[in-house]
Structure 1
Amino acid sequence: MSIPNEALQRLVQEIEIQAIQAQQQISTVKSQIALKQREIRMLQLTSSEVSTLPADTPVYEGVGKMFVFNPIPDVEKRLTTETSELKADVENLGKKLLYLETTHKNSREHIDQIFKSGGKA
């Protein structure tokens, strides 16, 4: 039993659209991961610089167009919190990337399978 050409064409078109969308989302997620990893690296560098300062050193953080004094322990705590949040974000984005790559691969396999079977169900 073969599938009518119109139905087969629609099916292939829908799968192709799904594969294209997955590919676009993959590139978006990869850039988000790279951005967050860069932010993590900046926070780690800042943390290592702050940790080398003497305990009584005044530390100022930029807030808008001004600088506000913050004690070193508060700065280190904020840096640690932000780093852990970013690492969790990267982990979640990694899971999303794996899902999207699997979706893309499956879409391509389905298209190949349709063409190999010659449109027969």
Structure 2
Amino acid sequence: MSISNEALQKLLREVETQAIASQQQIALTRTQQAAKQREMRMAQLTRTEILSLPADTNVYEGVGKMFISLPVTEMKGKLETQIKELEGDVDSLGKRLHYLEVSQKNSKDQIDRMLRGGVNAS
């Protein structure tokens, strides 16, 4: 049983659309992952700087347009929490990126199979 040319073209367009959407999602995910990694590096650097300060040093956190004084231990705890959340975000974005790359590869393989099948049928 052979698929008609119209049905094959329609299926090919659908798979191409999926491949293009996957490419866009991959680019977006990579951008998001880079931003989260940048945030994480900044938090790690800040934590490193705070750890080198004496315990009685005044530390301030920006809240909107003002700054609030915090104990060094509290600021360290906030940074630790932020770093753990960012690590989780980067990990989940990495998994999403892997899924999207596999999805895109499968779409390309499917397009190749359809084109070879269409060429062989001609």
Give the shorter-chain TM-score range: over 0.9
- 1:45 correspondence with 2:42: no
- One-letter amino acid of the counterpart of residue 46, structure 1: T
Query: 1:15 maps to what in 2?
Result: 15
What TM-score do the two structures reach when normalised by structure 2?
0.95
Rounded to whole Å, the distance in 2 between the matches of 1:31 and 1:15 is 24
Query: 1:27 maps to what in 2?
Result: 27
Query: Structure 2 regions of 5+ residues with no counterpart?
Result: none
Query: 2:113 maps to what in 1?
Result: 113
Listed one character per residue, the Cα deviations across residues 27-80 of structure 1 (whole Å, up to 9, x for unaligned) are 000000000000000001000110011011111111111110100000000000
What TM-score do the two structures reach when normalised by structure 1?
0.96
- One-letter amino acid of the counterpart of residue 45, structure 1: L
Aligned residue pair count:
121
Rounded to whole Å, the distance in 2 between the matches of 1:16 and 1:118 is 15
Instruction: List 4+ stretches of structure 1 deviating above 6 A.
Output: none
Identity within the alignment, %? 54
Counterpart mapping for 1:64-83 below 5 A: 64-83=64-83
- One-letter amino acid of the counterpart of residue 12, structure 2: V
- 1:2 correspondence with 2:8: no
RMSD: 1.3
